[in-house]
Structure 1
Amino acid sequence: MKHYNFDEVIERHGTNCIKFDQLKERFGSENLTPLWVADMDFRTPDFIVEAIKKRCEHEIFGYTYGSDAYYESIINWVHYKYNWKIQKEWISYIPGIVKGIAFSLQCFTQPGDKVIIQPPVYHPFRIVPESMKREVVYNPLKLTDGSYEMDFEHLESIIDNKCKLLILCNPHNPGGIVWKKETLIKLAEICAKHHILVISDEIHAEMAYPQYRHYPFASVSDTAASCSITFMAPSKTFNIAGIVTSYAIVPDKHIRKEFYSFLEAGEFGDGTIFAYEATTAAYTYGAEWLQQMRMYIMENVRFVDDFIKTNLPQIKVYMPQASFLVWLDCKDLKLSQEELVDLFTNKAGLALNDGSIFGPGGEGHMRLNIGCPRSVLVSALEALKKAINKK
């Protein structure tokens, strides 16, 4: 068994890397430790790199399509990871999940229609519909015993005949929640009753920690399968976001015909050579790498939680159940959001995501990306400790 080294610090400056090379543009300074945008600083696994190198040896990169091996790798992986049996015709490449959300809005809604989101949540869920002149309606998550839950009573109260679509984050970003099966079943019942299409963003699904089981939304019941589109990708898991490897799974034939006809009309479902190669390699050879990477991330979570409890008791860590993003409750610092961002950015020299961008409930929070070598986290948290002690 190969041992992968996640402690390696890799220089990413000068590679047109958003996370590092756009620090000055996004945060006003390039001299920050970047712990924000959701990609990891780990080397992309060797089996993916080798698959791309091998394809490059052919030296012709003409029009392409997904091979049988590509579809089989997705079908087998989804069955292996989630015990969900899907079929080839249910699957389509898409050029990114945010783009897939935009396509769904364009296909199934009209300007003025209402789109439901559950904040605090990944900010494109709000930005994309608003940019397309759809009305965004909030069904905020509620905090119960320090953890987020869906508020079904409130959801029922806000639904009217203009509500056409709900965007689900499963697992949840930034809260790190792996939704329980009964929660998803209940959500499906409500949405189906009101003829609301559920768009389930499951990009962090593969990174659910071993003690939690991820349920693809469409897999939890026939009702869920009949009212949903699922988006998945190996991009977060295997650190290949720049290759654009997303795909849609649509079990319902009526939704599938309408959505895939839309994709076909604009050739949006046509993937690239390297997307097909990378996905096939990730899902064929990636199980052991994923296991080792998740264990490293879980140790990073434990380190962050222990450090903050010991040294920064004014900050609370929401313990994630999936992914490499940690949601920090900083309200006990008694700072305005502007002061909080200034503390992290200008005083501690750290670039994190401002919690307020995630919508109602995000104020007083920051999102920390721990997909990096532990040495980076050590120095970052020491810098934060020093800045808070000076406050």
Structure 2
Amino acid sequence: MKYDFDEIVPREGTDSMKLKYVKDICGRDDVLPMWVADMNFRTPPFVVKAIEKRANQGVLGYTCTHDRYYDSICRWSKEHYGMEITNENVNYIPGVVAGILLAVQVFTEKNDKILIQQPVYHPFRIVPEATGRKVVMSPLRRVGSSFEMDFEQLRKDIEGCKMMILCNPHNPAGICWSKEDLQTVAQICAEEGVLVISDEIHCDMVLHGRKHIPFATVSEDARMNSITLQAPSKVFNMPGVVAAQAIVFNPDIREKYFGYIWGTDQDAGNVFAYDCVAACYSEEGDEWRREMLAYVEENIDLLCARLAEECPQITPIKPEASFLVFLDCRKLMEEKGMKEQSELVRFFADKAHLAFNSGDMFGSLGKGYMRMNIACPRSVVNEAINLMVEAVKQ
């Protein structure tokens, strides 16, 4: 490999969130932090170079979008997903979660119902609730240790809703939804007049030869009744830069949404944002991405193989996308006599000295699960597995 993903990158002294707040989530700080969804790899050199080049100009003034920014997004979308977009379809947003908030503010009113499919990324619930909307928690269906869409339940729950927030690919289970699944969602939402906000931040993290299917490409209903939110921040490990994009094909939705973004001054990225996006969506960026994915795939294979052999009480859902792994710990809870999720969290913190995300933060169906960040050097993955195995044996 051209890049060294085995390197241990110290996070102490960098104001790292995963270190600063680890005690808040598990009650102690003498743990291996594998919770926050950023990588423990060094940010790619072409991103750092883009920042240095801009900073060396000596002026950190107001900075606007440029052709390289739009061209890189349009080219990347066509080459990787077969989704053809033009500059007018794209708008900068200050993060995917912010993009969800802006959509909620534009297209819904207080007390309107917004549907999410739990277990799912927790801001899907937090953002609507914080703005006075009512969240409808439509459950996915458990299949073994993983999940699938329950369309019969979805048809019941979607009635009266104004918006659905879709996670594609899914976080935390790492599912790449099939074209047929997405087509059914599009049909149901179109029939009910429900706007779909498709969070596709993990679209560039598809694994083991799979291909991401953008929601907007599966049907005309999907194309004309959706807002797609993407960002290079996860896959290129630069969430601190805050750079994301919204893609909208329907001109009426685009006029309302982009107009609100412009009118509330949310379209102005920081001075480094546009250059970093253009650097990521390049040939050099794709080379780094491919090497990183190959490394993460080996980490996932290692985790699954070792736990199956040494600790079958914990069953990972092998992700089809993302560097996050949802660990099914229901057998472990049964064996250890745990009744509450809090006991599972305490087990990992106090016995295994590991900081993972508690599964119930993603919804009630997350009880019995923990989420683990696998984007780290292999030595750290092995250390974490050793800690889990030893804790279970004790």
TM-score range, shorter chain: over 0.9
Match of 1:381, as an amino acid? Answer: I
Partner residue, 2:269: 271
State yes or no: 1:107 paired with 2:111: no
Runs of 4 or more off by more than 4 Å in structure 1? none
State yes or no: 1:364 paired with 2:362: no
Match of 1:340 among 339, 344, 352: 344
Q: After superposition, give the CA deviation of every residue in 1:283-328 in whole Å (9 maximum; x if it has no partner).
A: 0221110000000000000010011101111111111001100011
Partner residue, 1:12: 11
Match of 1:200, as an amino acid? Answer: S
Q: After superposition, give the CA deviation of every residue in 1:32-66 in whole Å (9 maximum; x if it has no partner).
A: 10110100010111111111111111000111111
Q: Provide the rounded CA distance (Å) in 1 between the counterparts of 2:144 and 2:388.
A: 27
Q: How does 1:272-351 map to 2 (within 5 A)?
A: 272-284=270-282, 285-333=284-332, 334=334, 335=338, 336-351=340-355
* 1:129/1:136 contact within 8 Å kept: yes
Secondary structure, counterpart of 2:64 in structure 1: coil
Q: Provide the rounded CA distance (Å) in 2 between the counterparts of 1:264 and 1:55.
A: 24
Q: Decide which moves more: 13-22 or 370-379.
A: 13-22
Partner residue, 1:139: 138
Q: Provide the rounded CA distance (Å) in 1 between the counterparts of 2:12 and 2:31.
A: 12
Secondary structure, counterpart of 1:39 in structure 2: coil
Match of 1:166, as an amino acid? Answer: M
Could you tell me how far 1:221 is from its partner in structure 2? 1.3
Partner residue, 1:35: 34
Number of equivalenced pairs = 388
Match of 2:170 among 169, 172, 184: 172
TM-score normalised to the size of structure 1? Answer: 0.97
Secondary structure, counterpart of 1:86 in structure 2: coil
* 2:324/2:371 contact within 8 Å kept: yes
Structure 1 residues 144 and 29: alpha-carbon distance in aligned structure 2, compared to 1, 3 A threshold = closer
Partner residue, 1:238: 236
Could you tell me how far 1:19 is from its partner in structure 2? 1.1
Could you tell me how far 1:234 is from its partner in structure 2? 0.3
* 2:69/2:277 contact within 8 Å kept: yes
Match of 2:121, as an amino acid? Answer: Y
Q: Provide the rounded CA distance (Å) in 1 between the counterparts of 2:375 and 2:363.
A: 24
Partner residue, 2:55: 56
Could you tell me how far 1:211 is from its partner in structure 2? 1.9
* Structure 1: tracts of 5 or more residues without a match: none
Q: Provide the rounded CA distance (Å) in 1 between the counterparts of 2:55 and 2:25.
A: 34
Match of 1:270, as an amino acid? Answer: A
Could you tell me how far 1:96 is from its partner in structure 2? 0.8
Match of 1:53, as an amino acid? Answer: E
* 1:355/1:363 contact within 8 Å kept: yes
* Structure 2: tracts of 5 or more residues without a match: none
Partner residue, 2:67: 68
The percentage of aligned residue pairs carrying the same residue is 46
Q: How does 1:208-247 map to 2 (within 5 A)?
A: 208-247=206-245
Match of 1:142, as an amino acid? Answer: R
Could you tell me how far 1:144 is from its partner in structure 2? 3.0
Match of 1:262 among 260, 263, 274: 260
Match of 2:270, as an amino acid? Answer: T
Match of 1:361, as an amino acid? Answer: L
Q: Provide the rounded CA distance (Å) in 2 between the counterparts of 1:107 and 1:168.
A: 17
* 1:14/1:21 contact within 8 Å kept: no
* 1:343/1:388 contact within 8 Å kept: no
Partner residue, 2:76: 77
TM-score normalised to the size of structure 2? Answer: 0.97
* 1:13/1:21 contact within 8 Å kept: no
Partner residue, 2:385: 381
Match of 1:359, as an amino acid? Answer: G
Could you tell me how far 1:27 is from its partner in structure 2? 2.7
Could you tell me how far 1:88 is from its partner in structure 2? 0.4
